[in-house]
Structure formats: structure tokens, C-alpha cells
């Protein structure tokens, strides 16, 4: 998936990804301290670039990671990589870490890497088979910031497989929160689209879904959701930049769905795909 001749950007230089290395003294390596963003690229065109840059610069600011380049400069680097690497379908990761630190704690000069990699396009139609989740009590640290903290997500992988699930749904104190890399939505029995508003990462695809749903006349609420509400919902689905929308067919073994072409998940998926194509 990642040919060795691909060019990336690292701290002011373009170089092959195989040579892109950072010090073992970097605060990401030493202390897990860093942020990132990840956007899809279709041919020569990044999707929802402005939204991703908004979040990337907001995350950087909240983590006190000042890297010196402004939006225009980061945008230029992104288009330079797209032009050089000529991938039909790809993802671009903006990665900003604490940089080398003399005392292993103080942030001096953050390290910026921008890396493009080939990516399989998301399926063109909604997968009615859907996704199986298992729930786990956990809340991400600094949940509104897109940090590199996936300690729990990676640690849980074998357990998730043992449970026969595809992914994990975090919840805490009775509230459903998010998946490690996706947001969650429900359609209630009365037809309201609900998604948690607090203590979760505000995904770029999540934002598109809320806007599209409102435009389609679906009542929308950012609100607390309980595990009971999940079981009681007419539809449950997740969203992410790489997956768009995936209906959930099981949570902790409890069956949800079925989903048809007439489901709201399917309609939102089509609307999202259409919006993407228009934006290219």
C-alpha cells in the first residue's frame, strides 16, 4: 500500500517516506504528546480541506504546539505532495508532535510531518451487512482535541476480536460517547437524528451529516445518548472520513436494524456521496 518512493514533508523538507524519521527524544515517542488530522484525497482533490485545517490548527493551539506554518503554507505542502505522488486515491495525515525536549517534558520546537498514503476508496454503496460493536467504559483524554492518544484503542484490539466485534463503542457514566475513530448516531423511534455533543471529537463527516440531515428536513439533536437509547433506536450508524457512514447491526450482541434503501442511514449516505462529488 505504501511504495517506498512516496514523498512526504518533514520539518521543512520533502523526502521519501522511508527516510522520514524523528528523534527518539521527540515528545510523541517519549510522552505520547501530539495531534494529527487525516483527510481523504480523490485524485488531485482533498475532501473538506477547510474543515480539516480548521480542526488541525485548533488542536495545535489547544495543545500549545506552534509549528510556524500558516494555513496557506500547509495547503501548499498538501498540494505539492498530491502533485508529486500522483495517487488515484489516498489519505493525507497532518502530524504535529511535541518535538525533541531537553527535559522530556517542556515543548520547545514541535515537529510537523505531512504524509500521503494510498487508500482504498470507501465502498460506493452502503454496506447493509453493517458493523458490529462491543461497548467499553472509557472516555478519551481531552476528547475535543484530535490527539495521537489511541493507547486504549490499540490495547483493546484483541478483546474486540474475541467479542466477535469490528470496533469498540466507548461509554462512560451511562452516556454513549464515540468510537476510537468514528462518531455515532441514532435515529430514534420518533425519527430524530441524535448524536452526542459533549466529550467527543467533532468529526468532519459528523458535521456534514448534521448539515445534510437538517437540509433533508430530519429533526437533529446533539444530546446525551444512553445505552438503552441505542437498543431502542430505529437505526444506529457511525461516521468517519474514511468510512463515510456504516450502519451498526449489533451492539454487545443486541441486534439492530435491518437497514433498507429507505433507511435514513442509506439516504444520508447517498446525500454525502453526492456532496463529495459536487465538491471535487
Beta strands 34-42 and 45-46 are antiparallel
- Quick check: 5 binds a copy of itself (CB under 8 A)? no
Site for a copy of itself in 212-271 (CB under 8 A): none
Which one, 115 or 256, has the nearer CB to a copy of itself?
115
Separation CA 182–CA 39 (nearest Å):
14
Angle at 93 between CA 87 and CA 96, to 5 degrees: 150
Stretch that binds a copy of itself, among 71-79, 90-98, 203-211, 255-263 (CB under 8 A): 90-98
Contact 62, 68 (CB under 8 A): no
**Residue 37, helix vs strand vs coil:** strand
Site for a copy of itself in 18-57 (CB under 8 A): 20-34, 36
Contact 65, 142 (CB under 8 A): no
Stretch that binds a copy of itself, among 45-53, 98-106, 204-212, 258-266 (CB under 8 A): 98-106
Task: Give kind and range of the element (H or E) at residue 62.
Answer: helix 49-62
Q: Convert residues 131-170 into a mask of x (bound to a copy of itself by CB under 8 A) and - (unbound).
A: -------x--xx----xxxxxxxxx-xx------------
Residues that bind a copy of itself (CB under 8 A): 1-2, 8, 10, 17, 20-34, 36, 63-64, 95, 97-98, 102, 105-107, 113, 115, 138, 141-142, 147-155, 157-158
Amino acid at each position: 500500500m505504501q511504495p517506498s518512493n512516496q514523498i512526504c514533508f518533514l520539518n521543512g523538507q520533502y523526502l521519501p517516506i522511508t527516510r522520514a524519521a524523528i528523534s527518539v527524544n521527540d515528545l510523541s515517542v517519549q510522552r505520547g504528546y501530539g495531534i494529527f488530522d487525516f483527510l481523504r484525497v480523490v485524485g488531485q482533490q482533498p475532501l473538506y480541506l477547510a474543515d480539516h485545517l480548521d480542526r488541525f490548527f485548533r488542536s495545535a493551539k489547544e495543545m500549545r504546539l506552534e509549528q510556524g506554518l500558516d494555513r496557506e503554507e500547509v495547503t501548499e505542502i498538501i498540494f505539492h505532495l498530491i502533485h508529486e505522488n500522483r495517487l488515484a486515491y489516498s489519505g493525507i495525515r497532518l502530524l504535529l508532535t511535541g518535538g525533541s525536549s531537553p527535559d522530556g517534558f517542556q515543548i520547545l520546537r514541535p515537529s510537523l510531518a505531512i504524509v500521503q498514503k494510498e487508500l482504498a476508496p470507501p465502498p460506493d454503496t452502503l454496506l447493509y451487512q453493517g458493523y458490529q460493536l462491543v461497548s467499553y467504559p472509557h472516555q478519551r483524554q481531552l476528547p475535543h482535541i484530535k490527539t495521537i492518544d489511541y493507547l486504549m484503542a490499540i490495547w483493546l484490539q484483541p478483546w474486540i476480536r474475541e467479542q466477535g466485534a469490528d470496533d469498540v463503542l466507548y461509554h462512560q457514566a451511562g452516556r454513549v460517547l464515540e468510537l476510537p475513530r468514528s462518531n455515532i448516531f441514532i435515529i430514534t423511534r420518533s425519527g430524530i437524528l441524535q448524536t452526542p455533543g459533549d466529550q467527543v471529537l467533532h468529526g468532519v463527516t459528523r458535521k456534514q451529516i448534521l448539515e445534510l440531515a437538517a437540509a433533508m428536513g430530519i429533526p437533529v439533536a446533539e444530546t446525551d445518548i444512553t445505552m438503552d437509547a441505542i437498543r431502542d433506536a430505529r437505526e444506529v450508524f457511525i461516521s468517519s472520513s474514511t468510512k463515510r457512514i456504516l450502519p451498526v447491526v449489533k451492539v454487545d450482541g443486541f441486534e439492530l436494524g435491518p437497514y433498507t434503501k429507505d433507511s435514513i442511514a442509506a439516504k444520508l449516505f447517498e446525500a454525502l456521496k453526492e456532496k463529495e462529488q459536487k465538491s471535487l
